[in-house]
Chains A and B, each alone.
Chain A
């Protein structure tokens, strides 16, 4: 049981490049989400999904796309990287949503955009 896995662990991009951050969970959780964490800002919700085929925007969705074709996978796509997207990205899953249930976080992806 691996829990929530994220790849890559570290990534450096140039401005304008695109990439996909991978997230997978093996706990059969319906709810998955992506957060970014910046110094002094706390964790901010980018996008979330309440089940396969269903996604919605969080607090800071601009510049990011998501899709949820399976229960297990929830990739985050950066369309055209900007220095403002330098951050630590965490994927999380929860059996019934974060309101009443524990969220399980992946180890994070540290992204630097030059």
Chain B
């Protein structure tokens, strides 16, 4: 089983829709979780960290479910500019190392 798994998509959603992605991780001792965004042929950029109690940043909500070992990202009122690949990042253990998922591609259509 991969350390971090994501549905590659693509998720095609209309503007204004709500969409959610999940990311599962295999190491129950994982401590830190992040979502990064990567536009086509560009570098990844931090979207948000994921906190144990869940957290929100505008239209974006991140949740952590330790019992089932997954994190989620919810995007409300999707915009065309949200089209990108969303990378899940987990610290599974080891000094100063994180593991990236392969990403979920989102395409918001007009």
Contact = CB atoms under 8 A, between A and B. Distances in A.
Interface residues of B, number: 19
A16 to B, nearest CB: 28
Contact of A42 (B31, B43, B96, B102): B102
Interface in A21-46: 31, 35, 40-45
Interface string A61-80: 00000000000000000000
Contacts of B44: 43, 90, 103, 105
A99 B91 CA distance: 6
B29 interface: no
B102 A100 contact: no
A90 to B, nearest CB: 6
Contacts, number: 47
Interface residues of A, number: 22
A37 to B, nearest CB: 9
A41 B2 CA distance: 11
B1 to A, nearest CB: 15
Given A99-B31, A99-B32, A99-B91, A107 B96 contact: no
The B interface, classified by DSSP as helix, strand, loop or mixed, is: loop
Contact of A98 (B42, B45, B97, B101): B97
Nearest to B101: A42
Given A41-B102, A43-B87, A99-B32, A106 B43 contact: yes
A61 to B, nearest CB: 12
Given A42-B87, A42-B103, A97 B96 contact: yes
A42 B32 contact: no
B94 to A, nearest CB: 9
Interface of A: 31, 35, 40-45, 48, 50, 58, 90, 97-100, 102-103, 105-108
The 9 closest A-B pairs by CB, nearest first: A105-B43, A43-B100, A42-B102, A97-B96, A102-B46, A42-B100, A98-B98, A99-B91, A99-B32
Interface of B: 4, 8, 31-32, 42-46, 87, 89, 91, 96-98, 100-103
